Chain A
Amino acid sequence: MVTLNVNGRDQRIDADGTTPLLYVLRDDLGLNGAKFGCGLGQCGACTVLVDGRPVFSCITPLAALQGRRVTTLEGLGTLEKPGLLQRAFIDEQAAQCGFCIPGMIMRAQALLQANASPSDREIREHMQTWPNPRLIGNSALAA
């Protein structure tokens, strides 16, 4: 049994310690923002924040998360009331097919929490898991 805090609420999870956080979020908690992309920690579609820093939830086992703080896309805002960064992605039309956007938003969110006005270069370095940092950089800057 592992207790972790997800989007401000404590959750007790009864699953094998090797279970990826991504499966816990999607299958046990019904939080479907984070997506399964490659399953190898390469593409970033599964990115969420753990203690404020971006991690690939597809390769982060539950056993590492006792007492830790997880933030998912759902923790940033709602459909009716999107968070600042979500609003910026909408305004800048930064969504492409949309599948990996939750991961991009969460990675950008981590940067902005640590650095409210990053330079273009800082944005590019931080977002480099993805092929089009310029586009994301613009929307992150807009936020």
Chain B
Amino acid sequence: LNAASTAPVAWTAEQLLIYLRKGFVEPHGVAAGPMRDIPNNLGEAPADDVKAIAEYVGSLLAPATAGRSERRRGPEARPEGPNASAEPTSTVGQGGAASRDAATIYAGACAGCHEPSGQRFSAMGIPLADSKVIAMPDPRNLIHVVVEGIEPPDGTPTASMPGFGAAFTQEQLAELAKFLRAQFSDQPPWKDMEKRVNDVLRGTP
């Protein structure tokens, strides 16, 4: 949350409050993984207490986000769609078939919910250029999201993200993660992706 964060979108205290209370806030998306239960549970807590949490966390992050905001890519830098992907893929992999397929798999499986031209209106998948897990130093969260999907907290307006752990092979998952990293973040490539994917599939922490 502070200056060390690689997340492309900084938080505000107001967004934190909505996130903690409702489990979903634009442009950050839903509370997922271990955070999923927090909004459900905080729904039981007095509103003032949740507000105090949001304000305290907000006070920690407020002065530190300026540098990060600069790093955030402007809308003009965003890829216009899956067809804009030809260039980045060449920087991603070793040019194997799976590496080339990653852009196609993205267009066929992900773009529908994550790009405005698809069904984003009903699914409410966040634009991936705003994604935190794609910009993180460690790929583990992204791999978990793609493999297992996201079940949003109760009462959020978003669709569940289905998991793709059965649909894609280990190699396809690794290449897709590399593609997403190159396409939607300004961070350096992750290393040993096949092994990292394998670790998640085997449940290795």
Contact with A along B2-13 (1 / 0, CB 8 A): 000000000000
Cβ of B119 and Cβ of A63 under 8 Å apart?
A: no
Given contacts A39-B119, A40-B112, A40-B122, contact A61 B105 (CB under 8 A): yes
A54 to B164, CA, bound (A): 10
Rounded to whole Å, the gap between the CB of B168 and the closest CB of chain A is: 5
Size of interface on B: residues with Cβ below 8 Å to A:
23
Given contacts A17-B101, A54-B166, A64-B172, contact A59 B112 (CB under 8 A): yes
Cβ of B112 and Cβ of A60 under 8 Å apart?
A: no
A41 to B162, CA, bound (A): 6
Given contacts A17-B101, A56-B162, A63-B101, contact A40 B168 (CB under 8 A): no
Which of A39, A41, A62, A66 has the most chain B CB atoms inside 10 A of its CB? A41
Residues of A within 8 A of B82 (CB): 18
Interface membership of A103, Cβ < 8 A: no
A59 to B104, CA, bound (A): 12
Rounded to whole Å, the gap between the CB of A109 and the closest CB of chain B is: 13
Interface membership of B86, Cβ < 8 A: no
Rounded to whole Å, the gap between the CB of B80 and the closest CB of chain A is: 16
Cβ of A42 and Cβ of B159 under 8 Å apart?
A: yes
Cβ of A50 and Cβ of B167 under 8 Å apart?
A: yes
A56 to B112, CA, bound (A): 14
Given contacts A19-B108, A42-B162, contact A55 B167 (CB under 8 A): yes
Interface residue range, chain A: 20 to 34
Interface membership of A20, Cβ < 8 A: yes
Given contacts A40-B112, A40-B123, contact A63 B160 (CB under 8 A): no
Rounded to whole Å, the gap between the CB of B199 and the closest CB of chain A is: 19
Residues of A within 8 A of B109 (CB): 59-61, 64
- A1-31 contacts to B, CB under 8 A, are 17-20
Rounded to whole Å, the gap between the CB of B49 and the closest CB of chain A is: 32
Cβ of A61 and Cβ of B104 under 8 Å apart?
A: yes
A40 to B122, CA, bound (A): 9
A19 to B108, CA, bound (A): 7
Contact with B along A48-83 (1 / 0, CB 8 A): 001101111001111110101000000000000000
Rounded to whole Å, the gap between the CB of B39 and the closest CB of chain A is: 20
Choose among A56, A61, A68 the residue that contacts B107 (Cβ–Cβ < 8 A).
A61
A48 to B98, CA, bound (A): 23
Cβ of B166 and Cβ of A64 under 8 Å apart?
A: no
Choose among B105, B122, B166 the residue that contacts A50 (Cβ–Cβ < 8 A).
B166
Interface membership of B169, Cβ < 8 A: yes
Given contacts A40-B113, A55-B166, contact A20 B119 (CB under 8 A): no
Please list the residues of chain A having a beta carbon within 8 angstroms of any beta carbon in chain B.
17-20, 39-42, 50-51, 53-56, 59-64, 66, 68
Please list the residues of chain B having a beta carbon within 8 angstroms of any beta carbon in chain A.
82, 97, 101, 104-105, 107-109, 112-113, 119, 122-123, 159-162, 164, 166-169, 172
* 13 A-B residue pairs with CB within 8 Å: A17-B104, A18-B104, A18-B108, A42-B160, A50-B167, A51-B166, A54-B166, A55-B167, A56-B162, A59-B162, A61-B105, A62-B108, A64-B101
Which 5 pairs show the lowest CB-CB distances between chains A and B?
Answer: A61-B108, A41-B162, A18-B108, A53-B166, A17-B104
